[in-house]
Structure 1
């Protein structure tokens, strides 16, 4: 559901492989740009720290190899700008430090698990989009073998890809188009205690085993909460059928009572796990 003042044009309906419809808020172009700036500032800070260490090492050995500073910047910047993004987006949070700061994460547009191949593809495209043309122009201008029109063309190429998210409705980079990914808002919120109170007797309408309560994670539970709050009969029936099929149980109670019971008992199970330091973020999280 859209928050007050939310741009409704950024709301997308995604159907998971289990057939569960989800409504997601795409990240705005401004939020994505802010996250990228934060990440680049962090990368620059790491490079500066490495350079300072190298300079200190040169001082100790008598400053015999000053050219190594340029090598550190070239190799270090290449490794950081690629593997920094790939490393963090391949994790459970699917987000770099900048994205976490802005409350964003990367997901697969088909509703499935975000694969390593998709993460690598979307981030390696950034080389073609931005870094290679800008580095070529920078070194070319410094060495004097790039003329004015080549610089204008290269700068236009970089700007075209930089501002691509502004000119498409899904706010996609070229890397997102190739990898089949979205960048969405990852708003954090506590599990709804008031919703559990509203379930009343429905919370005891069915009993679930520990294995059944651990099928899904906190992310799916929050989506189930959204379905119950919205109260759409069709969505409730669809979600109930999916969960019944996943658990292989077909209780004779109504779909709403079934979901109320599953929600209440799963939330209680997760809260007990949190007290012991265990958190299952989503159905793909096996660390818990």
Structure 2
């Protein structure tokens, strides 16, 4: 292991250094992250809204085509077709609701924790405490989005369409939406109201290049998924205790190349798998474990089996 004074930590640097943060995981490991800029978040939201509107448009067109086809089937006589028409209207309302809410929930609860808009600008949702992003946190931050943005906009547009909106109502709605939209500009972590309540933040992604960057001295996994011979060999039981989330965390630790973090994680893994930790060889040990764990998870995925984290059931 290299001397601590010579080690240069891998640091994720953004265009604005004020957005660089250190996130401490529940295991006590410090990881460098960059908070997403307000412009990136606004761009992602705009893209997501365009996508949602596009999906709603497609559903609307499909409904109109069904209505047109139904009208032809009954020779245009829709007087006695109130039941099917109401059913179609209910289906449309449910579809719009799902696109507005389930869209964000589905993608942010996924492995990448990012909607299509966030992926396009290279950002994702993460837990501020460094732990795993929970379903409760994702649901909370998206429920608040309704209060922040969608419900006021629906109220304003419906009031304008019905001609019942006064100047005071219009200004009040405009100020309400503007207050929440500008809220990320007035806190250092660029949090919106939903992030404050849910304990989340939005951070920049880093493109992963798992070759020489992650484990330069570890032996590579062969094309057939076999783990090459190294000084450390792990049994299936040793590797079955962790999943994809822990693999990603280990990858970040190897990228950081911080001696203290390497020592903590190596000791934690040894305790978990029943090994006696050594000293001075932490990086080589972690590289070997990373290589073996990654190979095992990739083999399992070929058979349609995935283990997201250590809390998921064993295969």
After TM superposition, is the score higher than 0.5? yes
- CA RMSD of the aligned region, Å? 3.2
Q: Distance in 2 between matches of 1:278 and 1:79?
A: 29
**Deviation of 1:11 (Å):** 2.1
**Aligned partner (choices 262, 273, 280) of residue 289 of structure 2:** 262
Alpha-carbon contact 2:44-2:121 (below 8 Å) kept: yes
What is the correspondence of 1:165-176 to structure 2 with a 5 Å cutoff? 165-176=184-195
Partner SS for 1:27: coil
Alpha-carbon contact 1:220-1:282 (below 8 Å) kept: yes
Higher relative contact order (CA 8 A, sep 6+): 2
Alpha-carbon contact 1:220-1:283 (below 8 Å) kept: yes
Alpha-carbon contact 1:10-1:25 (below 8 Å) kept: yes
Tell me the matched-pair count: 286
Which consecutive residues of structure 1, in runs of 5 or more, have no partner in the other structure? none
**Deviation of 1:117 (Å):** 1.7
**Aligned partner (choices 209, 224, 227) of residue 190 of structure 1:** 209
What is the correspondence of 1:8-19 to structure 2 with a 5 Å cutoff? 8-19=17-28
TM-score normalized with structure 1 length: 0.83
The 1:174/1:230 distance shift into structure 2, 3 A limit, reads: closer
Alpha-carbon contact 1:19-1:242 (below 8 Å) kept: no
The 1:49/1:246 distance shift into structure 2, 3 A limit, reads: same
What per-residue deviation string (whole Å, max 9, x for no partner) do you get for residues 170-215 of structure 1? 1111111111112222333132346544358xx8343221232343
**Deviation of 1:40 (Å):** 1.5
In terms of fraction of residues, the more helix-rich structure is 1
Which range moves more in the overlay, 217-226 or 73-82? 217-226
Q: Distance in 2 between matches of 1:97 and 1:63?
A: 43
Which consecutive residues of structure 2, in runs of 5 or more, have no partner in the other structure? 1-9, 220-228
Question: Partner of 1:86 in structure 2?
Answer: 105
Question: Partner of 1:36 in structure 2?
Answer: 45
Alpha-carbon contact 1:89-1:95 (below 8 Å) kept: yes
Question: Partner of 2:265 in structure 1?
Answer: 239
Q: Distance in 1 between matches of 2:93 and 2:18?
A: 41
Partner SS for 1:163: helix
Partner SS for 1:206: coil
Question: Partner of 2:145 in structure 1?
Answer: 126
Alpha-carbon contact 2:13-2:34 (below 8 Å) kept: no
What per-residue deviation string (whole Å, max 9, x for no partner) do you get for residues 41-74 of structure 1? 2211121111112212222323736986876664
Q: Distance in 2 between matches of 1:196 and 1:90?
A: 29
1:117 aligns to 2:127 (yes or no): no
Alpha-carbon contact 2:19-2:188 (below 8 Å) kept: yes
Alpha-carbon contact 1:104-1:183 (below 8 Å) kept: yes
Larger radius of gyration: 2
Q: Distance in 2 between matches of 1:277 and 1:57?
A: 37
Q: Distance in 2 between matches of 1:79 and 1:268?
A: 38
**Deviation of 1:226 (Å):** 4.4
Alpha-carbon contact 2:13-2:20 (below 8 Å) kept: no
